[in-house]
């Protein structure tokens, strides 16, 4: 974490009339130390492992601030649970999301990016950002038997 990031974080907290605390600092540190797409709960567990006493409410609130300040990307993958990823460590990418196991695969395709820019400009549209989320089944889940077979009560005599 650089001093620039620290200052940015402090300013963002101040805008919400919040102070920098060791807990909030630990949340930022945890977020910047990960390259996964994690739920609030994952971050909560990670902090507990580090013996940081922090509530889920504080994590949620801090994540919102980190999102506003551009530290994290908040992803709605359609299952009602937001995922957060470290935005600073990464260049732009989009996501494929497995509907069965929740696996998230990142991709970046220059041609898609280029076409998007072109389509926007053809329409006189000033593009600020975009997000692609492709939904389907990952390789491992395609190989599994249908879900009904697995969850059905054992009926073998
Ligand atoms: Zn899967
Ligand atoms: Zn990602």
CATH number of the domain enclosing 109? 3.30.1490.190
Whether 47 is covered by a domain: the verdict is yes
Q: Which residues surround ligand 1, an ion (CB under 5 A)?
A: 98, 100-101, 103, 138, 141
User: How far away, in angstroms, is 95 Cα from ligand 2 center?
Assistant: 6
| 88-131 residue pLDDT tens | 877 889 999 999 998 999 999 999 999 999 999 999 999 988 88
Are 78 and 101 in a shared domain? no
Residue 145 has pLDDT above 90, yes or no: no
> How far is residue 115's CA from residue 97's CA, in Å, rounded to a whole number?
22
Report whether 94 contacts 37 (CB < 8 A).
no
Are 80 and 95 in a shared domain? no
Q: Which of 88, 109, 131 is the last residue of a domain?
A: 88
Ligand sitting nearest the alpha carbon of 100: 1
Ligand sitting nearest the alpha carbon of 97: 1
Are 70 and 20 in a shared domain? yes
Q: Cα 105–142–148 angle (5° rounding)?
A: 125
Are 5 and 79 in a shared domain? yes
pTM equals 0.78
Q: Cα 80–84–146 angle (5° rounding)?
A: 50
Beta bridge partners of 107: 94
| 49-80 residue pLDDT tens | 999 999 999 999 999 999 999 999 999 888 88
Per this entry, what is the length of the chain? Answer: 157
Whether 67 is covered by a domain: the verdict is yes
Q: Which of 47, 68, 88 is the last residue of a domain?
A: 88
Are 64 and 17 in a shared domain? yes
Boundaries of domain holding 139: 91-144
Ligand sitting nearest the alpha carbon of 106: 2
Are 25 and 5 in a shared domain? yes
Are 25 and 63 in a shared domain? yes
Residue 149 has pLDDT above 70, yes or no: no
Structural domain tally of the chain?
A: 2
Q: Cα 30–66–90 angle (5° rounding)?
A: 70
Max Cα–Cα distance, the chain, nearest Å: 67
């Amino acid at each position: 974490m650089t001093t620039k990031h620290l200052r940015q974080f402090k300013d963002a907290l101040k805008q919400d009339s919040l102070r920098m605390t060791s807990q909030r600092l630990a949340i930022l540190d945890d977020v910047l130390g990960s390259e996964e797409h994690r739920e609030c709960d994952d971050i909560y567990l990670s902090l507990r492992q580090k013996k940081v006493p922090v509530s889920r409410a504080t994590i949620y609130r801090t994540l919102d601030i980190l999102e506003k300040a551009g530290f994290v990307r908040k992803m709605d993958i359609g299952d009602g649970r937001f995922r957060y990823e470290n935005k600073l460590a990464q260049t732009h990418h989009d996501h494929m999301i497995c509907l069965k196991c929740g696996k998230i695969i990142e991709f970046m395709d220059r041609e898609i990016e280029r076409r998007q820019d072109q389509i926007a400009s053809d329409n006189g549209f000033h593009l600020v950002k975009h997000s692609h989320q492709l939904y389907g089944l990952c390789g491992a889940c395609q190989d599994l038997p249908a879900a009904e077979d697995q969850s059905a009560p054992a009926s073998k005599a």
